[in-house]
Structure 1
């Protein structure tokens, strides 16, 4: 299927703002790649349609570009039938090529001066875009044009009321550029070269672009008031095989990341150091604490209503699989 774009509106004119805001008016394109996530995508889009802006505001308007990456769950048919409920949404389609290609397509189709990336399982608050825009304007006045903003992501498994989840220590992120909740001028993305579509498996395509953005001298500004609630289903043992596969894929993509940027910082990020090998080796007793031996403990925690704690315990052996995947892929790359 060739990429297509449905319901393309004209870019809105600037709102009636005061003179002081006219030089800082921004039109925002929210780019959301999606693949077989129709139920949570609906919550995501309904929240995005509820954005509110004070007067005056630096925001001239916004559009929501949903890039469907070849979904087979009826996402396209549903969204096409419900266009009246989502007036800001533009639906773009492509064959299944992964999130890097989907985000690139969204950026190319975007009419906005600024791009906001979120994932299709993120539910935001009504002041989400206003917070990003106001922080961008303030940051540019203080630091110049080479800035972008990164909002707060709170993980939740509460599908009925995702925004009720409080912020937790485990939600803290030190990522420089991650596409779960970020706002950046479109021209910086184009200058950096967009996402590398060689990252066809799980992980690292956004952080790799972040390395190139950092080389352009961009400064990250934290924007904790731009809150997004990242929904995922409650952890269960049935998810473990998929999570292990993701960690192995992330290991392979980590080696690709290191090939492109062979630095110590990247080695730390992808866990390709002796420290990580020893750490996860010790914590898993050389792999003996794994999905099989820890299954009774994980199920016990789940049965007692603590699926998030069970997931944190599972991350011990998941990190071990990731490190094993990194070194296996690196050895393969060295041989090849």
Structure 2
């Protein structure tokens, strides 16, 4: 099995260094014939390319390509087009994997293929804000994901991606491009195989109030792209995924008191929690009004149709 690990990146150089280093230290296993790392720089302005050029001898498995800033869908498509492997693994550039990462995906794929070749594996993603030792974070209930196809840690035969049509580059803002491809893969009859031994640690900085404007903008973009998702696949399943139901309107409307609990009115409480060393709890509380922004953006985009 020849793996091509495809990583889109945009201005994430500090954690990208850890990401690539971890991939260079994979344990040998006879089911992994070879592997390459395809890094696609999506127009970074933080010196990513200069760093790669200066350190290329340290990363013999890495090949990199560049594009103007077009988003992760276009970046992943470029990676698939340039890949030499028969099996593609998608991860993000802020994911740090364990040394058995490739071995675990290979073992699960080989085992599942004895029953059917219409399978792909989804590894475990553990969220952490520990930059120095990201792999020290334990698994938490909040790390559970019920997504069918998410590019944070997934392995799939390259030919299925080609047959499904790759990622839709109309998803140029944040969100849904991987789950939309997942709908098309499901129509091809592919089955998800959970692979908890293929572990990746998804790093993000500790929550701070300064992040709220970007988080709100991301929710608004996710709402707009969610409506595009529904346009392409108008089903109840997609409506539930993008929160375009009366239930979601009522739920987040009540919890946010009609938007009265927001980044301004909650700032004091959130900052207090952060000062108490509980930034993750502060973020979970902030998700109440962040989800309200998302639901409002979904319906605003839908009204524009």
- Using the size of structure 2 for normalisation, the TM-score is 0.99
Counterpart for residue 53 of structure 1: 28
SS of the equivalent of 2:293 reads helix
Deviates more, 1:103-112 or 1:45-54: 45-54
User: In the alignment, which of 43, 46, 71 is matched to residue 98 of structure 1?
Assistant: 71
Instruction: Say which of 231, 235, 242 aligns to 2:207.
Output: 235
Q: 1:208 is matched with which residue: 163, 167, 180? A: 180
Partner of 2:112: 139
- 1:117 equivalent to 2:90? Answer yes
- Name the CA distance, whole Å, in 1 between partners of 2:246 and 2:198: 37
Q: Please name the residue that 1:326 is paired with.
A: 298
Match of 1:63 among 21, 36, 57: 36
Aligned match of 1:301 in 250, 269, 273? 273
Aligned match of 2:57:
84
Partners of 1:261 and 1:273 in 2: how far apart? 15
Q: Where has structure 1 moved over 2 Å in runs of 4 or more?
A: none
Q: For residue 34 of structure 1, what is the aligned residue in structure 2?
A: 9
C-alpha distance in 2, partners of 1:169/1:297? Answer: 24
SS of 1:59 mapped into structure 2: coil
Q: Within 2, Cα distance between the matches of 1:95 and 1:323?
A: 31
CA separation in 1, counterparts of 2:300 and 2:28? 50
> In the TM superposition, what is the alpha-carbon distance from 1:81 to its structure 2 partner?
1.1
Q: Distance in 1 between matches of 2:22 and 2:126?
A: 15
Match of 2:47 among 74, 93, 108: 74
- Structure 2's unaligned 5+ residue stretches are none
Give the deviation of 1:58 after TM superposition.
1.3
SS of match in other structure, 2:114: helix
Corresponding position: 1:289 with 2:271 = no
1:130 aligns with 2:103: yes
Root-mean-square deviation (CA, aligned residues, Å) is: 0.5
> Whole-Å Cα distance in 2 between the matches of residues 91 and 200 of structure 1?
21
Alpha-carbon deviation of 1:53?
Answer: 2.2
1:212-227 paired onto structure 2 within 5 Å: 212-227=184-199
Gaps of 5+ in 1: 1-25
Displacement, 1:270?
0.1
1-side partners of 2:58 and 2:279: how far apart? Answer: 34
Tell me how far apart the structure 2 counterparts of residues 168 and 53 of structure 1 sit (CA, whole Å).
Answer: 29
Q: Give, in whole Å, the separation in 2 of the partners of 1:298 and 1:255.
A: 30
- Count of matched residue pairs: 305
TM-score, L = length of structure 1: 0.90
Instruction: Specify which of 262, 268, 283 is matched with residue 240 of structure 2.
Output: 268
